[in-house]
Each structure stands twice: as structure tokens, then as C-alpha cells.
Structure 1
């Protein structure tokens, strides 16, 4: 039975995300995506004009899904600091092993695609800004409830996000969770 158009498009994106989370953007060719998805090549071009447009769609969908997943963690009845610590604990749980499911595409594809495509870089910039804004909202809540000591929520949110991106990269390099442990200790210190 043939899948409806939007389901087929989602299926292609889901298959590609799993492949690219493991191998990277340039290492995965369209033939591999289509063969794994069980989709003829002509069908791909029905949904996407190019691999670049496909990459944009993949990243946009990733950010929408990721933000929907983390918003409830950051927007809780708990204090701002507690919500942030829960978010970063979630980060550790989803990024510490080799499972593909919830891996961060910013860490995996960021440097690679920013050098290849300006439009994909812009998608990454908009998506990461949305994440930083959510973190900043929790910091603002923490300032209000007294659980976070800072006067600049955006600067702290950017610093925390960059810290955790770096920790994710170093965890891959070292094949260890120690970078996450260090990032968590620094996060607690920065939150005050």
C-alpha cells in the first residue's frame, strides 16, 4: 500500500536522520538514503529539489522535534535552576552512548554543513537560537525565583549551550562521560 505524500516525505527524512546521525552529511549519498528507505530516486525529487533542500528540511524537522521534546523539561513548576539541571541531565542521558535515536544533529553536522551550505548554516543558526532562547527563559525564571544568580540571561544561556556542545564533542573524542560530568559541575557553578 502506497504511503500518503507527507508520510513518505517524513519516512525519507527519518531514514536519512538515522544514517546521517551515524555517518555525517557528506558520507551519506542519496542512493543510500533512498535504498534504505525503499524509495525510488524519482520520488525523492518529488519531495526535495536538491540534497541541500533536503538537508534544510532535515535540520528544520530536527529542531522542531527537539524543541518540542525539551520545552516541557525546561517549562516546569520547578525552579529555573532545577529545570535547567533536569535539561542538562536529559542531555547526558541522550548523548552519552552510540544510540542514534535522540542524538544532537548540531554536534554531528554543524561544522560539516556550515562549510558546505549557507542556507543550511542559517537553519542551524535559527535552530540553535531557539534553543538558547528556551534556556534563557528558564534562566529568567531562575532569576525571578532566586535560584539563578546572573544579570544577563542571554549571555549565560549562550555560554551554557556552547559548554554542552563542546562537552558532547569531547565525549565523542574521549569515548567517555567525563566531559559531561565536568560540564554539569561547571553548569552548577555558573548558575550560582
Structure 2
């Protein structure tokens, strides 16, 4: 699949602020500093589609981006930043849970984990949360340019074991810096979901 156009549509906190046009949605979620903004910019080939915050944990909004005038990429707020207060963490949880609860337009969630580190308790919780709500999930290990091929193989095992991924679960590594495998990643994330939507509308 080729991404030709991408544009910011709206930032939302409440359900009534979400788009209501029933386009398919694919959401991205991960810890603060995992490189979520960078990977969305790399996928869309737009350097500043998503602002890369210098302050981890700052974003508390759900951002909707319209792709090819056809479907939405949804940027969920990052989690796990230690300096965020309990009140802010609760607010994040409510915002994300509201979005994940019964969102029929949402067809897949992309969970980003830093491939240099073992997935945290928050990552495990997020993965299980996605599964609990019944969404298809793809796990992407970010910042893969920082590891050698051998260490990437070790990271793959650690991520699979920690998140308890099955042979059917999808795990992919990507670097927003060198963008190697970008086209394959786009196909992995979007192709079957977008194609199935097209088939349904025939």
C-alpha cells in the first residue's frame, strides 16, 4: 500500500469529539520516549505531521490523522513517564480506556516497545489491555538501528517471552532513523485491514 496523503484532523479527549464518519481506524500506542511520533512521521513520510515533544508524557490527547482520505491513524497518548502525577496517570487511563471501549471503527492497535530494553510492566499491561478489548495487535520494536543483528535476535526473544506472544502474533523491528523496511512495515500494518474494508463496501 502507498500512503499518498496524510493530514491532522482533530485532537480529542471525550468520545463526542471523535470523528463520526465511520472510517476504519488503526491506533498507535507506547511508552513516552518510545519514538511513536517519529515512527508515524516516518510511515507517512512527513517530517512534522506529528510534533515530537521534548517533554515525555506531555501529550494527553488522542490525535486523529486522515490517511489517503480513506482511513485514520490514531495517535494515543504515551504512558509510563515517571514524573507524571497519579492524577495525570488516571486521566491518561480514562482517556485511552474510553477510546478502546467499543470503538467499532478501530480494527488494529500497533504497540510500540523500545527494542533495547525488556518490555516494562506498563507495556505488558497495555498489551493485555488491547487483547482484553478484542483488538488485533502488532508489536513493533523501535530504534532497531541501535542494536546489532545478534542483539536484535536476543531482543526478539525477550519481547516475545515477556509479552507472551504466540506464533500467530506479529512482531516487527523498525528504525525511524534509517527507515529500512518502511514499505514492508506499511503493508504489514495497513494492507489487510484496508483491503477488507474495501471488500465490505463493494
Q: TM-score, normalised by structure 2?
A: 0.29
Q: Which is strand-richer, 1 or 2?
A: 2
Q: Of the two, which has the highest radius of gyration?
A: 1
Q: Which is helix-richer, 1 or 2?
A: 1
Q: TM-score, normalised by structure 1?
A: 0.30
The structure, 1 or 2, with the larger RCO (C-alpha pairs under 8 Å, 6+ apart) is 2
